[in-house]
Amino acid sequence: MFKKDILKNGLKTIFIPQKSTRAVTSMVLVKTGSKYERKEINGISHFLEHMCFKGTKKFPSPVKVAEVMDRVGGIFNAFTDQEYTGYFAKVETSQFGLAFDWVSELFLNPLLPKEEIEKEKKVIIEEINMIHDSPMSYLGVLWLKLLYGNQPAGWDIAGKKQTVMEINREKLIDYRKRQYIPQNTLICIAGNFNENKARRLIERHFSKLKTQTSLKKEKVIEKQKRPECLLERRETDQSHIFLGVRGYNLFHPLRYSKEVLSIILGGMMSSRLFVKVRGKLGLAYYINSGADENPDTGYLFVRAGVDNNRVDLAISTILKELKNIRERKISIHELKKAKENLKGKMALILESSDAQATFFGLQELLENKILTLKEIYKKIDEVTTTSIAKVARDIFKPEKLNLALVGPFNKKEKFEKILKL
């Protein structure tokens, strides 16, 4: 069972003890990401995350930062999303104090040296290039651009090359000062650790942080009246498609029905789209579906890499399945299989301490509440064929359809014509 607490300065903590493991994860999450940025500093959340590894007061060089964890075989990393940034270290339980001190040092005391900032610009641009060169990865960037356009929700988390090149030390310091504050921050400790020691460490490192006003997100504008398509021409051997609809956010009562619907469509090897598109028609090697929920946005998508000469057939087949599930109730057997699949995957993923820290931490950070795995199972079990039908009728509408596509095509009109339900 988890335990929550709040320091006097507003910083939140969560403990998730796991006595059956020899690992412990220390994670610091901060409620800021690309949705909190202005256009001229797009990518700064991600850039700052990189720079925290480039030297701190206690570990004044990138090598010294890395060596601390390397010497004990620790697993460490950081991540940036639209809504949050996180830093973590996972170690054998006897190294808990070392790992917590290390994560705290990255978060609290980065040096942000000018020479490293200039070098890291080149690194991040290569990261942008790497994602761009992989259509499977780049589709995610195109998809957000298609849905939300020129607003923070539609921008690339890594930023644009131009904005990355214009970020400097002063901008990083100012952004960090505004956003890395106690009321935005959550510390999550999961695994095998001494709780009293954890409290002492948290108090020592984080109690002196002072609260202040932080940057606010722009309200996301959801605007769509007809099917939309975004095409990027490339001479690829297969076409990569990201086809989906606007859906529900984190707080919608039907969010779990939407997730189960996604599993039925393309979340298993025995799902409808996998069987039809890959198994029967041989149109794709990879095809799957997913559901995404954020505090203010959400969608359901299908992605696939398909034969260039049969893209039309692949898209039409996917749309036909969306229409079928909208017009005909699913069977009890199919519903049960999807629900058990979703519950089983969650249980397996949450075996590790870092997954536990992320699972509990992000719920608290983004929703201000935590459901245990058992409570989420209950939510999943409450999904019915009727609620699935309601979701399908609600979101599978022509005016909510969106298609992002990378492939050897010049005009998007041919694809817009088949975006019908």
Residues designated as active site:
49
Cα separation, 110 vs 54, whole angstroms: 8
Separation CA 261–CA 341 (nearest Å): 12
Instruction: Count each helix (H run) and each strand (E run) in the chain, helices first.
Output: 16, 11
Taking the C-alpha atoms of residue 82 and residue 147, their distance in angstroms, rounded to an integer, is 14
Sign of CA dihedral 80, 224, 248, 347: negative
Cα–Cα distance list, 231 to 45, 119, 146, 165 (Å) = 28, 33, 10, 27
**Per-position b or e across 245-258, b if 16+ CB within 10 A of its CB:** bbbbebeeebbbbb
Distances (CA, A) of 318 to 266, 272, 293: 10, 9, 22
For residue 247, what are the contacts with CB-CB under 8 A and spacing of at least 6? Answer: 258, 291, 292, 293, 298, 299, 300, 395
Tokens in use for 206?
């984080």
Q: Are 22 and 92 in contact (CB under 8 A)?
A: yes
Burial state string for 208-219 with b = 16 or more CB within 10 A and e = fewer than 16: ebeeeebeebee
266: part of which helix (H) or strand (E)?
A: helix 255-266
